[in-house]
Every structure is written in structure tokens, then in C-alpha cells.
A and B are shown apart, each in its own frame.
Chain A
Amino acid sequence: MRKTEQLLIKRTLEQELSEIRFTQAEEVLRATHPRSWRDRVRAFLNKELELPLVPLGTAPLFLMAALFVYHLAEQPKTHPGGPQLHRELIEEGGSYYWKDEYERKVNGHEGDHQS
């Protein structure tokens, strides 16, 4: 009785599942046991990582700050420069100089005469 019942259920199940076929066996096998390089890449890309959230969030902020500092340091070079624009010709001791060049040279020798 029990057995006939079991057989009946089995038959019914087989009947109902007869339309459904498992065709992705190859794919599943490829995912679990990759053989070609393409499969390996795909497997790698789909790999799940567990990352700590705090360092991951602060890293970009640090990077942005670093970029900003780098930009500030680079600025004088990329902007054609301060003294060159406001140049003034001056006469000192019979000769004519760019004021900025003259002042730089004079300041370079300023200590010489202090007693």
C-alpha cells in the first residue's frame, strides 16, 4: 500500500517534471571548475569580497586632499608668474634694471655692509 502510494507520487512527479529539463549543467560546471582563461576572469570578477567599510570610505577623502595639496604646490608653475607681470624699470647708480631682479640681487648682498 505504501509502496504503491510512493510509486504513484513518483509517477505523478515525473509526469509533472517531464517538461522541465536541466540544461545548464555545463555552465554550472564551468563556474565551479573554470578551465578556459575567460572562465577564470569571469570567476574572478564575480568573486565576492568582504571589505571593511571605514578604511574604504576614508581612502577617497585622503586621495582628494592629496590631489588638492599637489595642485597648490604646482600652481606657481602653471600660472605664468607674479613678478614677471608687474615689471618696473628702475634707474640705480646710472644703470637700468628690472625692479624685481635688482631687489633680489641687492637683498642677496644686504648683509655685507652691516657693521
Chain B
Amino acid sequence: MGMKVTIKVKHLILSTAVFLLLAAGFLVALSRQSPPSQNTNQAVWSNLSKQEVFKRIRESEDEQKWTYIRNYLIGREGAELTNSYDIYVGPGTSEWSSVTYEGQGKLPPITLKEKFPYLEAYVESGPADFNLAGAALLLSYYYEGAGQWEKAIELLERTDERLPASQMYAAQKVKIRMAEVAGNHGDMDLFRQISADLSHELTQNPDTRIVEKFSWLQTRYLAGNESIQQYLKALKKWEGSPVYGSGKQPTVIFDQPTLLKQGLQKLAASKSDRLPEVSGTLKRSDGSPIAYAGVYLRTKDRVQGSLQSDEPYQTMTNGKGEYTIKGVLPGSYQLYLGLELDQISGWTWPTESNEWIRVGFQDVTRDAVLQPLLELAFPVNQTTVREDRITFAWEPVPKAAYYDIYLGVRIHSGSVSQPVKTKVDTTRITIKTEELYHLIGGISSYSDQDRKMITDPLSLLGFSNPDNRFFWTVNAYDNDGHLLTRSDGYRIGNDKIGNLPFFYLKERELTLADRTLLAGNLDQAMKQYEQAYKDDPADTHSLHMLIVMIDAQISEHRSNGSDSFDRENAEKQQETYLKEMVLLHPTSGYLSRLTDYYYKKKDWQAYNAYYKLYEKAMARDS
């Protein structure tokens, strides 16, 4: 039964074909994304991948294309060597920048090398604005590093010609860079010509940033390439007024920053006739070069802060990871690197905050070698330890003579860590959990809504908190005490993440006072610890907490300033607790607190007695 239709085979074939065609069209229509909201003046990229960025740029034209390149590849602050990298590392510091644009989300990480072709297009035919100068400056470092300095000059010249009079600051930056490249490669005629131009411009429109950079440059190259003594003579002769010079004479600006002045004084006292250069290679320990990375020499007055665009010594490594900074004034410098995430991830640059490059009148070679991060074995990945001993184990590092182990606690505002075992000459160490409970960490606090400082109970309870998560890190050192590598660093990408350094310690249970403390009621907790200690004089946990809580009271008093607090009395009470504690549990931590106390009180008899005990405890620890 049912309805039937009579159809010829050829008609059946035809209709099937038509249907299949329709279905294919349907599928294509479905898979085509709903077109991204196109906005010509504003960049909306909170959900753009790198491929999509390049696709957008490729598929757009003219104004739109330049807008995309400007927004995606040059960035809000303009392209500078000091803001084009993901991460900046220096001795003992590391800083990462997440370039954002008007709060619209993060840019996908795009390496400089990937940006170069687009920057080049921008320099060739993009709008003549401030970004044009930025793109040209970045490219000039690239070409100079690649040994094509003439091409760098050409590019900068073209940029300078294209920039309108309204873009004076940008043009001056380009000129300074041009002079720098010319100076770097000994083209002193060009250097003098640009200098004359610039000093003429600067007499009319002095801009402090440019003037300062210009005076550095002049000193570096006139003194570096001609004769230092002659340059200094010229300086003396023209002293007195801000800007001088024209034609063949060295063009000199006297408005020098302090450090430059000091460098000049050193130059004046020397017999040397040429400024040295600092050069080297950036590579990984497996020999692979770190190409197109930023290299900066930073003076003492600058290392406290982040990199600024007017750093006097900056350059880029070439494809082989080599760099050269010419005309370095005598003085002490720290080497900083600008790196892409992929370049550093899984690796570390083992430098320590006391590492300086001392530059006299000789050339200096300084390589930077990244080492693979040290890998932790146990306890890791949030494992729980319930025994009264905890064994830490890690992968051996070739050539390591000893290791330092740091343990950390998660607190309200991040984490704090401290060295727990130093100079360990094996790759495994067992520590009594009790030893961790008795560590005295720093007191941390955070501000509440009313900006009142609140002591963080997590920092007070330290490793005695079975609910908190702890972490550990290891540093490896060679025979001479130089850092070889460390376990903490950039672990970006699933193959680099390794074992997570987290563990829980659930050997003890929280006491009543601990709970009160964690609830934020410090005064009440103090009373409960006092009571617990009174009830059981062998309760070293409560005694430890009493000592730590007095530290907290003192620091809270210092930040919030309450009148009712009697600091001297509190310290006296703490001294009593410490003396009782070292009878029960003489760790170097408590003993050093006691010696500190007697040192301040100038009680030398007590000081000497406890110092002896402290030395004994230290010997026991190692």
C-alpha cells in the first residue's frame, strides 16, 4: 500500500545529483564561520589566533591592512627593542610582558622573525606615522645583526624622508639610530653629518629624551672611533652652552646624565684611545643559537626598574645568536636578555643578582648559555605525605657539585619560599616533618577593602597547615658556587611542564588554636596557644606559634600603629619563649633569633653562649 511514484531511471539520477550538490552547498555554508565583526578603526582580537592574525592582514587592503599590522604586530607603545619580547631576564630577575591593546585582550605571541616581512611592508608603503619609525627601528637591528648595515641605513634614510614634519620626535629617533648604525660600522662621515643635522634640530626643539640619547651616542662614537683625548679636549673647549658644533667639528652636547659624566671622567683619567665593545653569543647548552633576541647592557641606576626604551646600550642577536655592543663607556653593567616564550620555555639562564660585567678599556666577551630546567622527582603533582619524614628527590645535573633546596607555602597574596637545605651533595634528602614545622618564615600581610593591613594566617602557620599546598624548588651549583640551573622557570607547553612541584603534608592535625588563627581571629588564637602551652609544656607547636605570633604583632603594630601595644614587653616575652624553645628544640633558626636579640641588647655574655649553640646547630644541620 501507500503512495507510489513512477520515475524513469534517468530522472532519478538527475535528481540525486541535484540533491547531492545542494547538500554540499549546505555543508560549506555551515562550516563557514560567521564573519568576524569588522571594525575598521578598532581592533577586536580577543579571540584571534596567530594564523588568523596573519590571514586578516593578508586578506585586507590598504588602510585596513596597515591598521591590522599596527595593532597586531607593532602594538600600542610602538615597536621598540625594549617592548617587543615576551620575557626580559636579567641577573636574578625575570619579567614577562603581556602586550595588550586598549584592554581588548591579549595579542597572540608572534615572534619578531614572523613580524619582519610585515614590518618591511609597513616601512615601504604604510602610513608615515610614529609606527613607521618603530617598524624601521626594529628592522634596522635585524639587518645590522645580519651583517647588512648598509641596508639598515638605507631603510632608516627612506623612513626619515617619508616622515612628515609633524613627526619630529619619530624622525629624531630614526636619525639617532642611523647615527648609531653609522658609528657602529665606522662610517664617521655619515655619523658627523647626521650629528650636525640633529644638533641643529635640537637647538631649536630640545627634547630631553633625545638630547640625553644623543649625548650618549656622541661620547660613544666620537670617543670610540676617533680619539678619546681629542674628543675630551673638544668637550672642554666648548663647555658652557647646551648645543654646539657644525660641519667637520665634533658636535657636542653638554647636557649629560650623571653616569655619562662619570664615564667621561674615567675616560679623561685614562691613557686609552678607543672605547671597548662588549660582544658574545646567546645559545642553549646544546649549542642551538638564540636568534633575534634582545640584548641590553644596563647600568646600576637602571637595573632596579624595568627596561626603558631609552636604554643606552641595546641590540639584537643575529641568526647565529651573536651580538656586539660597540663604544661602551667604562663602568659596571648587567646583561639583560629579551626573549620569546618559546626561546626560554623549558630552559633557564642561570645568572645571579650579583653578576656584573666590568668594562674597562679592553673589549669584553660575554656569552649567555641557557640550561635545561632541573626536573623534580618526588614529592610532586600534589602528592600527600603522611609520614613523619619526607624525602625529596630530583634528577641529577651534570657537573653539579651541590644543590640548594627551597620550600614554599601558598599564601593569600601568592607564595613565599625559603632555603631549607643548602649544599646538599646528593640528589635525594630526607627531612623530618617536625623540622619543617619549626621553620620561621617571614610574616606576610595583605590589605583588606579598607586598606588595613591584615596578617596572613597562612604565612604564620607555615608548613604546620595540613590543608595548605606546599611547593619546592632546587638550585644546582658547580664547584665554584656558580649557579648551573634551577627547577623553577618558564614551563610553557605540555612537553615542558614536567612534574608540578606541589605536595601536601598531612602528618599532623590542626589544633583548636590553629583553627581560630585560620579563621582570622589572631588575638583569640594567641590566648588559645598560651593555654595549650600552659597545659602541656612539651607542646612545641604552640610554643612555636607563640613566638611567630609575637613577630606578627610587632609587624602589625609597625604597619597599622596601635598605641596600646607595648613592643618592648612583647620582645621580652618572645625572648622567654625562645629560651624555652631551644631547650626543647635547639634549631639554628631559633638560636639565630636569640643571638640577634642579645646582639641588639648588647648582652655579650648571652650572645656568646647562644652563638656557640647556634654554631653547633649549624654543624648538625649540615
Determine if A80 and B52 form an interchain contact, defined as CB atoms under 8 angstroms apart.
yes
Assuming the contacts A60-B19, A94-B417, A96-B96, asked whether A50 and B488 have C-beta atoms less than 8 A apart, the reply is no
Report the Cα distance A14→B3, complex, angstroms.
Answer: 48
Distance between B469 CB and nearest chain A CB, rounded to angstroms: 8
Q: How many A-B residue pairs have CB under 8 A?
A: 142
Report the Cα distance A49→B4, complex, angstroms.
Answer: 10
Give the interface SS of chain B, mostly helix, strand, loop or mixed.
Answer: mixed
Contacting residue for B382 out of A48, A113, A115, CB 8 A: A113
Determine if A93 and B47 form an interchain contact, defined as CB atoms under 8 angstroms apart.
no
> What residues on B are CB-neighbors of A44 within 8 Å?
9
Determine if B6 and A93 form an interchain contact, defined as CB atoms under 8 angstroms apart.
no
Nearest-neighbor residue (CB-CB) of B492 within chain A:
A98
Nearest-neighbor residue (CB-CB) of B384 within chain A:
A113
Report the Cα distance A108→B7, complex, angstroms.
Answer: 61
Interface string of B1-20 (1 = CB under 8 A from A): 01111111110110000010
Determine if B506 and A94 form an interchain contact, defined as CB atoms under 8 angstroms apart.
no
Determine if B9 and A49 form an interchain contact, defined as CB atoms under 8 angstroms apart.
yes
Report if B98 contacts A (CB, 8 A).
yes
Of residues A48, A49, A93, which shows the largest number of chain B Cβ atoms within 10 Å of its Cβ?
A: A93
Interface residue count for A (Cβ, 8 Å)? 48
Report the Cα distance A98→B493, complex, angstroms.
Answer: 7
> What residues on A are CB-neighbors of B362 within 8 Å?
none
Distance between A83 CB and nearest chain B CB, rounded to angstroms: 11
Report the Cα distance A42→B46, complex, angstroms.
Answer: 61
User: Which chain A residues in 62-115 approach chain B with CB under 8 Å?
Assistant: 63-64, 67-68, 71, 74-75, 78-81, 84-89, 91-98, 101-102, 105-106, 108-110, 112-113, 115
Determine if B488 and A94 form an interchain contact, defined as CB atoms under 8 angstroms apart.
yes
Report if A20 contacts B (CB, 8 A).
no
Report if B21 contacts A (CB, 8 A).
no
Contacting residue for A49 out of B12, B106, B469, CB 8 A: B12
Distance between B139 CB and nearest chain A CB, rounded to angstroms: 27
Report if B31 contacts A (CB, 8 A).
yes
Determine if A93 and B473 form an interchain contact, defined as CB atoms under 8 angstroms apart.
yes
Report if B494 contacts A (CB, 8 A).
yes
Determine if B408 and A93 form an interchain contact, defined as CB atoms under 8 angstroms apart.
yes
Determine if B473 and A49 form an interchain contact, defined as CB atoms under 8 angstroms apart.
no
Determine if B8 and A46 form an interchain contact, defined as CB atoms under 8 angstroms apart.
yes
Assuming the contacts A49-B6, A79-B33, A101-B494, asked whether A112 and B382 have C-beta atoms less than 8 A apart, the reply is yes
Determine if A63 and B382 form an interchain contact, defined as CB atoms under 8 angstroms apart.
no
Report the Cα distance A53→B98, complex, angstroms.
Answer: 63
Distance between B394 CB and nearest chain A CB, rounded to angstroms: 14
Interface string of B96-107 (1 = CB under 8 A from A): 101000000110
Report the Cα distance A78→B49, complex, angstroms.
Answer: 13
Report the Cα distance A88→B52, complex, angstroms.
Answer: 18
Stretch at the interface among B118-126, B303-311, B496-504: B496-504
Report the Cα distance A105→B502, complex, angstroms.
Answer: 11
Determine if B492 and A97 form an interchain contact, defined as CB atoms under 8 angstroms apart.
yes
Nearest-neighbor residue (CB-CB) of A54 within chain B:
B2
Determine if B3 and A54 form an interchain contact, defined as CB atoms under 8 angstroms apart.
yes
Report if A1 contacts B (CB, 8 A).
no
Determine if B8 and A53 form an interchain contact, defined as CB atoms under 8 angstroms apart.
no
Determine if B497 and A50 form an interchain contact, defined as CB atoms under 8 angstroms apart.
no
Distance between A100 CB and nearest chain B CB, rounded to angstroms: 10
Of residues B5, B33, B469, which shows the largest number of chain A Cβ atoms within 10 Å of its Cβ?
A: B5
> What residues on B are CB-neighbors of A101 within 8 Å?
492-494, 497
Report the Cα distance A80→B106, complex, angstroms.
Answer: 16
Nearest-neighbor residue (CB-CB) of A85 within chain B:
B47
> What residues on A are CB-neighbors of B13 within 8 Å?
45
Determine if B492 and A88 form an interchain contact, defined as CB atoms under 8 angstroms apart.
no
Assuming the contacts A71-B31, A80-B52, A86-B46, asked whether A53 and B473 have C-beta atoms less than 8 A apart, the reply is no
> What residues on A are CB-neighbors of B341 within 8 Å?
89
> Knowing that A46-B8, A92-B502, A109-B500 are A-B contacts, what are 14 other residue pairs whose CB atoms are under 8 Å apart, sorted by A's residue number?
A45-B13, A51-B6, A51-B12, A54-B2, A67-B26, A85-B49, A86-B46, A95-B490, A96-B96, A97-B491, A105-B497, A112-B381, A113-B384, A113-B506
Could you pull out 20 A-B pairs where Cβ atoms are within 8 angstroms? A45-B10, A45-B13, A51-B7, A60-B19, A67-B23, A67-B27, A84-B49, A92-B471, A93-B408, A93-B501, A94-B417, A95-B501, A97-B492, A101-B497, A105-B497, A106-B500, A112-B383, A113-B504, A113-B506, A115-B506
